[in-house]
Amino acid sequence: MTIRTRFTELLGIEHPIVQGGMMWVGRAELAAAVSNAGGLGILTALTQPSPDALRAEIDRCRKLTDKPFGVNLTILPSVNPPPYAEYRKAIIDSGIKIVETAGHKPQEHVDDFKSHGIKVVHKCTAVRHALSAERMGVDAISIDGFECAGHPGEDDIPGLILIPAAADKVKIPMIASGGFGDGRGLAAALALGAEGINMGTRFCATVEAPIHDNVKQLIVNNDERGTRLIFRSLKNTARVAANSVSDEVVARLSKPGAVFEDVRELVPGAKGRVALETGNVDAGLIWAGQVQGLIHDVPTCKQLIDRIIGDAEAIIRGRLAGFIGN
């Protein structure tokens, strides 16, 4: 079975399954494996230390797949922001045709990408943000529910409500993100009004994910309770895997009057990278979602995507159809 949606038609992909752009994880070997399996692989631009390094990573990915793949550019407010315009130029100059944007005030980037014929999928956590991005001219929306890894926003709206609420108002193609890891999730997302799914944590627990096996096993071993919400009191909520570091961050920020400086030394991205690459799962923060409770193995990307599509087909054609009386 091939599940065709407006999203697959828009991007020229076989299956409506997207690999999320994940810091330190969205590298060529994973993106190419997802794309070769019929999904949409995503390179994470800021994982690369410079725009020239991103150009090289795009070239490396092209050597591994002849299928469509995209690049994620996440714009975050920062005292010392990376050279976003130079990364954007690297993406454009490399002939990339699909970009996933996320984060703060992407208008400048969206306008430039669109002027070069690039399809833009914008990731957001609220219906109002999705509508704003639609007005901005993006081609598709990835709506991110409270279950997700990373930053779920401050509204705490889970996918069961957020997806259909967005589908009621958003006119362009929309995919669902946060809490997806199997065929049941894909079938549910389609029923709720989405036209595909975006998965991050689930793709971390695959053979091709360029992270240490200890981290993959942590994800497999954790259940749906195995995350922590950090930075809540700072109005910058983030969901990460439960480990000694995230527990300590929560404890320190729970004290009256706590500020970011109280946890600064615990949360640098470089420490999270050490955890991912060395397998010391208590070296730093590891970003993971509640979908850990649905992850029980470490398949190849092709095995995973084939299984999701097959299970979704069985649910749509079999189990659900069986409930309909004559």
- 152-182 confidence digits (pLDDT tens): 999 999 999 999 999 999 999 999 999 999 9
- Quick check: 220 and 213 in contact, CB under 8 A? no
Q: Nearest-CA neighbor of 150 among 286, 55, 293, 50?
A: 286
Q: Nearest-CA neighbor of 8 among 117, 140, 123, 171?
A: 140
* Neighbour tally for 210: CB within 10 Å: 15
- Quick check: 19 and 304 in contact, CB under 8 A? no
pLDDT band for position 325 (cuts 50, 70, 90): confident
Find the mean pLDDT for residues 51-64: 98
Q: How high is the pLDDT of residue 150?
A: 94
Q: How high is the pLDDT of residue 152?
A: 94
pLDDT band for position 77 (cuts 50, 70, 90): confident
Domain spans of the chain, in order of start: 6-211+297-320, 227-287
Does the structure show a pLDDT above 70 at 143?
yes
Does the structure show a pLDDT above 90 at 79?
no
Does the structure show a pLDDT above 80 at 52?
yes
**Overall size of the chain counted in residues:** 326
Q: How high is the pLDDT of residue 134?
A: 97
Find the mean pLDDT for residues 196-207: 98
Pairing of β 119-124 and β 140-144? parallel
Structure tokens at 97: 């045709």
Q: How high is the pLDDT of residue 1?
A: 65
Say which amino acid occupies 98.
Answer: I
Find the mean pLDDT for residues 49-64: 98
Query: Is this prediction's pTM over 0.75?
Result: yes
d(CA 166, CA 172): 11
Pairing of β 227-230 and β 238-241? antiparallel
Say which amino acid occupies 174.
Answer: M
- The DSSP annotation for 171-186 comes to -S-EEEESS--SHHHH
Q: How high is the pLDDT of residue 146?
A: 98
Residue 196: what are its φ and ψ, rounded to 5°?
160, 180
- Quick check: 305 and 15 in contact, CB under 8 A? yes
Q: Does domain 6-211+297-320 have CATH number 3.20.20.70?
A: yes
- Residue 142 β-bridge partners: 123, 175
Does the structure show a pLDDT above 80 at 103?
yes
- Residue 102 β-bridge partners: 74, 123
- Chain-centroid distance, C-alpha 284: 20
Which residues 6+ apart lie within 8 Å of 86 measured at CB? 51
Does the structure show a pLDDT above 80 at 78?
no
Q: How high is the pLDDT of residue 105?
A: 84
Tokens 């923060």 label which residue? 285
Tokens 């054609």 label which residue? 317
Which residues 6+ apart lie within 8 Å of 191 measured at CB? none
Q: Residues 272-301: pLDDT tens digits?
A: 999 999 999 999 999 999 999 999 999 999
Q: Nearest-CA neighbor of 201 among 118, 287, 104?
A: 287
Q: Nearest-CA neighbor of 142 among 16, 292, 308?
A: 16
Does the structure show a pLDDT above 90 at 197?
yes
pLDDT band for position 104 (cuts 50, 70, 90): confident
